[in-house]
Amino acid sequence: MRLLLVEDEQRLSEALAYILRKNNYLIDIANDGITGQEMAESNIYDVIILDRMLPGKEGLKVLKDLRKQNITTPVLVLTAMDEIKDRVEGLDSGADDYLIKPFSTDELLARIRALGRRKSEQLQNGNIKASSFELDPLNCEVLVDGQTIKLTLKESQLLELLMRNKGKVITRDQILSRVWGFDSEVDMNNIEIYIYYLRRKLNFKDTGIRIETIRGIGYCFKEDNNV
């Protein structure tokens, strides 16, 4: 999952980014409301963590403007205790959930998992399931028929992106920006190689699952329910 954290307290944002990366989330940080909104408008994030009090533009205004543009990414608003009386106002702006500062990292991780679940077939433990395959993004592993297949971090992130968008075509540009990031040196050929590795490692033969190549466009994760 790719997350956007919009938070102006640098020590907090760095600490959160460290913890989230350790949990294998891809995370981008913005330190003010205007930059945060610009990044969120790219619509590449699975969850946005948005502080309320931000320089440049207040969090709830950013949220309102995103919703106006039909950006439906789940948003978790970080709010101080004394702002909580404005809770209703926040929900009206389109927030999906709230977290009151200070919060525990376990609580934050649980809320992110819950918001991510709304978009895909995610299990309680954070794993993503398709047919007999279960991807464990935290440990970069696929569990299938009692076997554990180890993936690299990038393989796991790529498979997660495809599985979360089952049945939808993901373009190569989307894969580049969501798995490798905006400024990455990786080129299109690398994606092909990673897909090749995934297919070889996971051996989808006779499982009803496949990663389809959409020539010149991208890839699509498919699950055939009749198998």
Interface with Ca ion (CB under 5 A): 8, 51, 53
Shortest Cβ 52–Ca ion spacing (Å): 7
Shortest Cβ 31–Ca ion spacing (Å): 10
140 closest CA partner among 192, 108, 149, 131: 149
Shortest Cβ 58–Ca ion spacing (Å): 10
- Residue (64 or 129) nearer to Ca ion, CB: 64
Shortest Cβ 14–Ca ion spacing (Å): 14
- Residue (49 or 175) nearer to Ca ion, CB: 49
- Residue (52 or 113) nearer to Ca ion, CB: 52
Residue nearest Ca ion (C-beta atom): 53
Query: CA dist 227 to 102, 144, 204, 206, Å?
Result: 48, 15, 12, 8
**β-strand 209-214 against 97-101: which pairing, if any?**
unpaired
User: Can you spell out the DSSP letters for 129-185?
Assistant: EETTEEEETTTTEEEETTEEEE--HHHHHHHHHHHHTTTSEEEHHHHIIIII-TT--
- Residue (8 or 65) nearer to Ca ion, CB: 8
Q: How far apart are the first and last CA of the chain?
A: 28
